[in-house]
Amino acid sequence: MKLKAPFPYFGGKSAVAAEVWRRFGNVKNYVEPFFGSGAVLLGRPHWRPDGPRLVETVNDADGLLANFWRAMTADAEAVAHHADWPVNEADLHARHLWLVGQRERITERLMADPEWFDAKAAGWWVWGACAWIGSGWCSGNGPWVSGGERLVHRDDLGNAGQGINRQLPHVGNAGRGINRQLPHVGDAGRAWGHIAPLADRLRDVRVACGDWTRVLGAALWPFTGSLLRPLSASHLRVGVFLDAPYGDGFDGAYASTDGLEHDRAIADDVWAWAVEHGDIPQLRICVAGYDDGREVPDGWVTVAWDATQRSGGAGFTGRRGAESDAGKNAKRERLWFSPHCLDPDAGQMALFGGQ
């Protein structure tokens, strides 16, 4: 069964997940600091419900998104309960405003306690993400705020406040993602049927929330720590998938409020980190981004892919015409693999047993 996130996500990498795993192999430890929709982890072919436990750590800076994934690992049934609601414009605005107001509290609690989660916020978030049209869900960018008993339009907020934009819910079809499973209020079991397989897959995944570098420290310690490296480090294999905001146009859907300059800085830092650590034999690193003329070190492998062609289109760019900016960017998609990734065309998979 092919697993996917129960909400639409722009810029997901489901179309290339298989290529990533062909070059990572069955690594002992997997780290994804920019988790988003989790398409690469969910596409891992080595996971089995009755198989050995995998060491997998994911992170996202968006507290509401991270809370959804953590709640899914801990109490997916409660998430399904709160997501089970018909699409209603009034509820969409009310829940949107509530979630934006709770973001800071939720993020702080997630970062302070690795076991904390809010199932109601997770359910409302995924319900709204499926009902919302386009980008901006829970970004906080909008002029509408709570005035006690009604919505109030605040012109002075602009894009800097904790307001929301008003819009009609998605009415073009029966719903997207989880809402497709909710035809009416009385059919509560349908949401759980959509979420249950994800809950099984995510049960042992560790979900962090915060700066992307935090989850990399623990993964790197056996190879870069100041203490004597353990003997087991010689056969450990760690896969690191880095899909940071590209910083080159629109490639986010939810809470990216820091602007393109901030995204570009993160993208530059991510590339610098990958190049610096790419020579560690036990590390297998993949960086996703646009072809921007960057200098690729010797030994790295570049894989070009077209987001409009693979698997019927991938992410936001696959939804636009080929001559649009998004369509042109779709042809700039690249994956860069570090020197110690497997070369599936050179027989390494057979030589190392896919390890």
Per-residue pLDDT tens for 200-243?
999 899 999 989 998 988 667 666 554 334 434 556 789 999 99
The 10s digit of each residue's pLDDT in 10-28 is 777 889 999 999 999 999 8
pLDDT of residue 258: 59
What is the architecture of the domain spanning 14-61+210-351? 3-Layer(aba) Sandwich (3.40)
Distance CA 351, CA 355 (A): 9
Closest C-alpha to 84, from 189, 206, 175, 177? 189
pLDDT of residue 180: 37
Tokens of 79: 């998430």
The 10s digit of each residue's pLDDT in 158-212 is 433 444 344 444 444 444 443 433 333 334 455 666 788 888 999 899 999 989 9
Contact 109, 70 (CB under 8 A): no
**Residue 155 pLDDT greater than 50, yes or no:** no
| DSSP codes of every residue in 311-331 | GG--TGGGGS-TTSHHHHHHT
126-139: string of b/e by CB count within 10 Å (b at 16+)?
bbbbbbbeeebbbb
Strand-pair category, 333-337 with 29-32? unpaired
Distance CA 40, CA 21 (A): 8
| SS3 label, residue 302 | strand
Q: How many other C-beta atoms can be found within 10 angstroms of the C-beta atom of residue 144?
A: 19
Distance CA 147, CA 250 (A): 32
Helix axes 63-83, 119-131, angle to 10 degrees: 90
Q: C-alpha angle with apex 243: 239 to 249, nearest 5 degrees?
A: 165
Distance CA 73, CA 208 (A): 12
The 10s digit of each residue's pLDDT in 79-120 is 999 998 888 888 888 898 889 888 999 999 999 998 999 999
Q: Where are the domains of the chain?
A: 14-61+210-351, 66-200
